[in-house]
Chain A
Amino acid sequence: MSSDLAALPLEELLEQIQDNLYGGNVEPVVAGVHELLRRGLTPYDALTQGLIAGMDVVGEDFRTGKLFVPQVLMAAKAMKGGMEVLRPLLAETGAPRIGTLVIGTVKGDIHDIGKNLVGMMMEGAGFQVVNLGINTDVEKFLHAVREHAADILGMSALLTTTMPYMRVVIQALKESGLREKLIVLVGGAPLNADFAKSIGADAYCRDAAKAVETAKRLMAEKNGTPRA
């Protein structure tokens, strides 16, 4: 296999990686990324020209209804495989950070399907995702934000009785001096933009695709490199 890859012109190799991302084939994507690196591409170029370019097509086809949710999740898994190869190298070479997301369902709530979808799609966009699971209290959120030097905190709630807890977490972030550098995104069926604003979150994301889009936008602003 690797010998076949080695024979491919770069353009075709990139295309093949992107096709494999689109098809959700983890191993071929990982092999392709290794091949890009073997040829001397910087980890950042491998990321942007190989993986991100491929996932942009996936995102576009999801938005227009060509791809269904399971296909996007398969592609995200392939993306995650490629990212695992690149992430340590990206850090070493000082490439611009894609970002780390800490995400969890808030205390008292165990509904996590939507939150997990967001986590997987964020991985699909290249983010490092630390999924704290369900019933997450303030201490656990704060600890994870510190430990992973998170860029983004995502909180989810399905119950109207648990969504006020998001305010408690944001208050604690402020008191610990963590809020300012952090992007806080919230989501869940009973929430809306007004609620997000009232508790001091940066944005309400109505679905996983919106979460990815918002995270990318706010991350670019944070990095001072607005995307076109």
Chain B
Amino acid sequence: MIRTPAAFLTDGEVRRVHEASLEILEQVGLLVRNARAREIFARHGGQVEAGGENVRLPRAVVERYRAGIPPKFTFRARDPELDRTVPDDAPVVISGSSAPDMVDPATGIARRALAADIARIARLVDQLPNYDIFSVSTLADDAPPAFFSVTRLYAALKYCRKPVRISGPPEELDSILKLAHIIAGGERAYMERPFITHHYCPCVSPLTMDYDSTATLIYYAERGLPGHPTLVPNAGLTSPLTLAGTLVQGNAEFLAAVVLEQMVRPGKATIYSSLPTVADMRTGAYAPGAIETGMLFMGVAQMARFYGVPCGGYIGLSNAKVNDAQSGFETGMSGVAALLSGNHLFNMAGLLDALMSFDFAKAVIDDEIVAMLRRLQRGLELSEESFALDVIREVGPGGMFADHLHTLERMRTTGFLPEIADRDPRQGWIEKGGLDAQGRAMLRVRDILTRDAPSLFSPDVDARLRREFTGMVAAEFAPPEGWSRPPDEALSDRAERRRRRLAQQAEA
């Protein structure tokens, strides 16, 4: 484990960031577009500009409400075994969400994502061992506007057992709940185990709360359903072009959003979730893959620790369009910075081109990057026993460790054994087809997507959903067009070896 999180700020500086955020909320205030939010702020001590939309939050009000945030947040699944809690289970990994496009697995060309893609992605996330939560990774271009989120949720919950996170427009909030109730077998059953976590971005930087996402926050908080905001300041465009200024403004926006949550429902759990970026001022390009995002996450983690709130966000994104070196180093570097600094929730995986497109191979590669982060989290695991002084004494100078029982017992656990990273000698690598990480990841994708994926809905529930939401796209899982189980023996051997290895690990 990481005993001392990596930190840029002293305790005094953390306090100063907090003070500066309070100063912003008290003196500059926020533009609150949503009228109900203004009413709620006003009723609880916020100062709403007469006839206007500006809301100032006195420091005492902010301090009172933020103190009520609980220290943990749980993502629930239908099966309690798959529940995940931050910070206890950190790093908790959630797939990247809501990309409009999809890199077509057959052609390699980006196109609009469809409901059928979500069914495949749901299955992939279900099967990849390092993802804890499925945030519905793409939109569905073929979904009718009235059932936009319902179509996405249907496919997600039909093929992924893990907790599901989604955001939806105000017009669909009732439908989303209805779908949840049908799947759970009634409202009461759902309220006991709400397996959908809601997500909203109520703050549009700088210092503005919007209409719709703010309405969503209020809706779910009122009903006691799990949800959390994400804050996304973009230095140079929507926040000052300094990392400190962006940290402070983003922190003020976080406080505004969670204070509203607490005003609606005292004691509501939440997450300090963020995606702070620095714009590339050469063109204004959005650059979530930049190292500054990883650095800002280090600051965010310090602030979250100060508040006693679990934290994380969209960590490990990339601007790369394909699975090249850039996509790896951007995801990896920010991931390491965020992990070492004590972030809990890693909303990463599967997205290329700055959240614009989902890529199956990227999801598989990221699964492995996450496995490496989990290994990093375990640390050096120092103990008298792990020094292995007895073994060193026994083997002695010039001896051999490889054939020792001590080594045998640890050969699968001490070092993370990658599936995607290649460690063959060059000639061996050539003999196996000379594939790069993208090529090896696609083999894994093919392996998962050409197996049968059982529906998690009973026929009765499925029929009721289709009746209730006539017109939604009820996606069925099918392998990508032209894909079938490959006859290639090497691949089946490899898949079979993996299956046996996983079974072995499960036994151990």
Q: Which A residues fall within an 8 A CB radius of B?
A: 65, 68-70, 108, 110-111, 113, 117, 135, 159-161, 164, 189-190, 192, 194, 207-208
Contacts and interface: CB of A to CB of B under 8 A. Distances in A.
Given A69-B282, A108-B212, A207-B284, 9 more contacts: A69-B236, A69-B279, A69-B283, A69-B284, A110-B204, A160-B148, A164-B145, A189-B356, A192-B112
Contacts of B236: 69-70
B contact face: mostly helix, strand, loop, or mixed: loop
Interface string B220-250: 0000000000000010111000000000000
Contact of A208 (B98, B100, B112, B284): B284
Contacts of A117: 284
Given A69-B281, A161-B148, A207-B283, A111 B204 contact: yes
Contacts of B208: 110
Contacts of B210: 110
A129 B406 CA distance: 75
Q: Which residue of B204, B234, B279 has the most chain A CB atoms within 10 A of its CB atom?
A: B204
A122 to B, nearest CB: 15
Interface in B104-151: 112, 139, 145, 148
B281 A113 contact: no
B307 interface: no
B139 A160 contact: yes
B326 to A, nearest CB: 18
Contacts of A207: 283-284
17 contacts: A65-B282, A69-B236, A69-B282, A69-B283, A108-B169, A108-B211, A110-B33, A110-B204, A110-B210, A113-B234, A113-B238, A135-B211, A160-B139, A160-B148, A161-B148, A189-B286, A190-B139
A182 to B, nearest CB: 25
A78 to B, nearest CB: 19
Interface string B63-100: 00000000000000000000000000000000000101
A113 B283 contact: no
A66 B356 CA distance: 27
Interface of B: 33, 98, 100, 112, 139, 145, 148, 169, 204, 208, 210-212, 234, 236-238, 279, 281-284, 286, 356
A110 B213 CA distance: 11
Q: Which residue of A70, A135, A159 has the most chain B CB atoms within 10 A of its CB atom?
A: A159
A161 B212 contact: yes
Contacts, number: 45
A108 B356 CA distance: 21
A105 to B, nearest CB: 10
A159 B100 CA distance: 10
A161 B169 contact: yes
A207 B281 CA distance: 13
Nearest to A71: B281
Given A161-B148, A208-B284, A110 B100 contact: no
A117 B145 CA distance: 29
Q: Which residue of B169, B211, B284 has the most chain A CB atoms within 10 A of its CB atom?
A: B284
Contacts of A68: 281-282
B96 to A, nearest CB: 15
Contacts of A111: 204
Nearest to B214: A110
A165 to B, nearest CB: 10
Given A160-B100, A207-B283, A113 B148 contact: no
A110 B215 CA distance: 14
A29 to B, nearest CB: 23
Which 5 pairs across A and B sit closest by C-beta, in order of nearness?
A: A161-B169, A190-B100, A110-B210, A68-B281, A69-B284
Contacts of B234: 113
A208 B100 CA distance: 21
Given A69-B283, A117-B284, A135 B33 contact: yes
Nearest to B100: A190
Nearest to B279: A69
A69 B279 CA distance: 10
Given A68-B281, A69-B281, A160-B139, A113 B212 contact: no
A210 B200 CA distance: 31
B238 A70 contact: no
A88 B504 CA distance: 81
Nearest to B209: A110
Nearest to B285: A207
A187 to B, nearest CB: 12
Contacts of A159: 212
Nearest to A209: B283
B136 to A, nearest CB: 12
